[in-house]
């Protein structure tokens, strides 16, 4: 009976270890899949960052991706910790199983040794005498069965020892592989921490850069707002002053024999160039700010001639901070055109000019800001200028 208990111990030991292995194997596979997914996410994010780095206007998108990668890196480090704990727990279970199996092997060997000695002693007495000198037929049958059982148990014990030794050998190899995996995970975790620190520094650098950019953009916006306010103040003053035009000024206006209101969509362009800022609200993605542009900004090479778009009367020549030299032409009927960023003017105040006449040149700012006012409103110049440039 004691021998049968040992046999059961071995079966239980092996059956307990195997379910645990399946559970741990599944947990380890789950963590490995998590690591794989996180690595793929990080690699995708890093590739996207590389694309965005070449675009300075995408600073906020780079920052958002960096934050996402840092979050994923933290998750990856946590997953590495989880994986290492699982590996270590599996190692501990394997070592306990091997220790129990070794103990069981020792007990089997001792039991086998006792049975062998008993069998040997009985053989010396004479196996046939031992069996056939039984006091009863039942005793003889029992003794025959006993020796058969002893023989079978001994063979089973030998087979079980071999099976358990093979099991231990297999688990020893698994332990060696797990030790390698643990070290690999530790190294991966260490590398990820190094990369994470690098990402944090990069993020801090981006934050600093973004703050500087925002500061510069805000300064530029404040500057533009001031320019627009100054021009708006000038516009109101000109309209108010028109009521005080003297006889000479009124006579100059009356010389304009064409009505600009009939030429919407037919006016010539003030300069050859490309519109870089359209009329109306302009969205600034960096600061989530909308700034209203009262005209259009045309990019043009410095010293390019700037021409009048229609017959008119030069009512004002002035200087506005941010806009530079500014010329305002009255086309009668409460319509005006405005030109800024000019230099080397070829006209003077209180003089009439014709359509296509050069009024000056593009300044070193390489841009012309052009506006049209009509009936005390700011109009979209693109609706008034002829298509094409």
Element (H, E) at 374: strand 367-374
Q: Which residue has the higher pLDDT, 282 or 343?
A: 343
**Any domain includes 272:** yes
Q: Which domain holds residue 128?
A: 2-216
Q: What is the pLDDT of residue 50?
A: 59
Mean of pLDDT values over 212-219 = 73
Q: By C-alpha distance, which of 172, 174, 154, 149 is closest to 101?
A: 172
Contact assessment for residue 372 and residue 365, using Cβ atoms and an 8 Å cutoff: no
Q: What is the pLDDT of residue 186?
A: 74
Tell me the per-residue pLDDT of 183-196, one tens digit each, with 9 for 90 and over. Answer: 777 777 777 777 77
**Any domain includes 347:** yes
Query: d(Cα 289, Cα 283) in Å, to the nearest integer?
Result: 6
Instruction: Give the domain-ending residue among 191, 216, 241.
Output: 216
Q: By C-alpha distance, which of 329, 345, 355 is closest to 242?
A: 329
Q: What is the CATH number of the domain that holds 312?
A: 2.70.70.10
CA torsion, ordered 211, 214, 218, 219, to nearest 10 deg: 70
55 and 161 assigned to the same domain: yes
61 and 208 assigned to the same domain: yes
**Any domain includes 54:** yes
Q: What is the pLDDT of residue 147?
A: 57
48 and 195 assigned to the same domain: yes
208 and 323 assigned to the same domain: no
Q: Which residue has the higher pLDDT, 308 or 225?
A: 308
Vertex 205: Cα angle to 200 and 208 (nearest 5): 125
Q: Is the pLDDT of residue 127 over 80?
A: no
26 and 103 assigned to the same domain: yes
Q: Is the pLDDT of residue 26 over 90?
A: no
In this structure, of 118-122, 263-267, 309-313, the range with the lowest mean pLDDT score is 118-122
99 and 198 assigned to the same domain: yes
271 and 197 assigned to the same domain: no
Q: Which residue has the higher pLDDT, 162 or 298?
A: 298
Q: Which residue has the higher pLDDT, 41 or 169?
A: 169
Contact assessment for residue 154 and residue 192, using Cβ atoms and an 8 Å cutoff: no
Q: What is the DSSP string of 134-165?
A: -SSHHHHHHHHHHHHHHHHHHHHHHHHHHHHH
pLDDT classification of 197: cutoffs 50, 70, 90: confident
Element (H, E) at 234: helix 137-242
pTM listed for this prediction: 0.48
Please, which residues bridge with residue 343 across strands? 361
**Any domain includes 165:** yes
Q: By C-alpha distance, which of 35, 42, 387 is closest to 195?
A: 42
Instruction: Give the domain-ending residue among 216, 247, 280.
Output: 216
Question: How distant is the alpha carbon of residue 320 from its chain centre?
Answer: 44
User: Best-predicted range by mean pLDDT among 19-28, 118-127, 226-235?
Assistant: 226-235
Pairing between β-strand 335-343 and β-strand 358-362 as defined by DSSP bridges: antiparallel
* Percent of residues, the chain, with pLDDT higher than 70: 62
Backbone angles phi, psi at 304, to 5 degrees: -70, 135
167 and 282 assigned to the same domain: no
Tell me the per-residue pLDDT of 91-103, one tens digit each, with 9 for 90 and over. Answer: 677 678 777 767 7
42 and 189 assigned to the same domain: yes
Q: What is the pLDDT of residue 29?
A: 67
Report how many domains make up the chain: 2
Mean pLDDT of the chain: 75
Q: Is the pLDDT of residue 5 over 50?
A: no
**Any domain includes 240:** no
Q: What is the pLDDT of residue 10?
A: 39
Q: By C-alpha distance, which of 66, 82, 69 is closest to 30?
A: 82
**Any domain includes 228:** no
Contact assessment for residue 360 and residue 306, using Cβ atoms and an 8 Å cutoff: yes
**Any domain includes 194:** yes
25 and 172 assigned to the same domain: yes
201 and 309 assigned to the same domain: no
Please, which residues bridge with residue 299 across strands? 274, 367
Q: Is the pLDDT of residue 11 over 50?
A: no
Q: Is the pLDDT of residue 19 over 60?
A: no
Tell me the per-residue pLDDT of 227-240, one tens digit each, with 9 for 90 and over. Answer: 778 888 887 887 77
**Any domain includes 141:** yes
Q: What is the pLDDT of residue 220?
A: 72
Instruction: Give the domain-ending residue among 194, 216, 238.
Output: 216
CA atoms within 13 A on the CB side of 303: 0
Q: Is the pLDDT of residue 226 over 60?
A: yes
Q: Is the pLDDT of residue 344 over 80?
A: yes
265 and 207 assigned to the same domain: no
In this structure, of 162-176, 198-212, 280-294, 299-313, the range with the lowest mean pLDDT score is 162-176
């Amino acid at each position: 009976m004691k021998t049968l208990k040992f046999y059961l111990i071995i079966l239980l030991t092996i059956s307990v270890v195997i379910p645990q292995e399946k559970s741990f194997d599944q947990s380890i596979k789950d963590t490995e899949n998590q690591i794989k997914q996180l690595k793929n996410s990080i690699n995708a994010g890093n590739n996207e960052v590389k694309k965005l780095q070449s675009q300075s206007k995408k600073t906020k998108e780079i920052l958002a991706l960096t934050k996402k990668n840092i979050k994923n890196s933290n998750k990856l480090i946590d997953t590495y910790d989880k994986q290492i704990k699982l590996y270590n727990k599996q190692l501990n279970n394997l070592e306990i199983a091997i220790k129990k199996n070794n103990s069981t092997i020792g007990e089997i060997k001792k039991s086998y040794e006792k049975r062998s000695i008993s069998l040997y002693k009985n053989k010396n007495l004479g196996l046939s005498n031992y069996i056939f000198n039984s006091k009863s037929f039942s005793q003889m049958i029992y003794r025959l069965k006993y020796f058969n059982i002893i023989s079978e148990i001994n063979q089973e014990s030998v087979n079980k020892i071999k099976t358990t030794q093979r099991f231990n050998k297999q688990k020893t190899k698994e332990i060696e592989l797990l030790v390698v995996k643990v070290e690999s995970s530790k190294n991966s975790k260490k590398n990820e921490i190094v990369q994470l620190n690098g990402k944090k520094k990069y993020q801090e650098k981006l934050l600093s850069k973004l703050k500087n950019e925002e500061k510069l953009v805000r300064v530029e916006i404040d500057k533009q707002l001031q320019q627009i306010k100054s021009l708006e103040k000038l516009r109101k003053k000109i309209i108010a002053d028109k009521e005080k035009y003297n006889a000479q000024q009124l006579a100059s206006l009356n010389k304009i024999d064409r009505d600009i209101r009939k030429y919407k969509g037919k006016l010539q362009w003030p300069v050859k160039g490309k519109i870089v800022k359209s009329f109306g609200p302009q969205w600034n993605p960096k600061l989530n700010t909308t700034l209203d542009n009262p005209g259009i900004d045309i990019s043009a090479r410095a010293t390019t001639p700037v021409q009048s778009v229609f017959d008119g009367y030069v009512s004002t020549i002035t200087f506005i901070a941010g806009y530079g030299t500014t010329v305002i032409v009255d086309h009668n009927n409460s319509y005006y055109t405005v030109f800024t960023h000019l230099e080397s003017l070829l006209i003077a105040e209180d003089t009439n000019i014709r359509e296509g006449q050069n009024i000056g040149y593009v300044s070193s700012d390489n841009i012309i800001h052009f506006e049209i006012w009509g009936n005390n409103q700011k109009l979209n110049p693109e609706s008034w200028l002829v298509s094409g440039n």
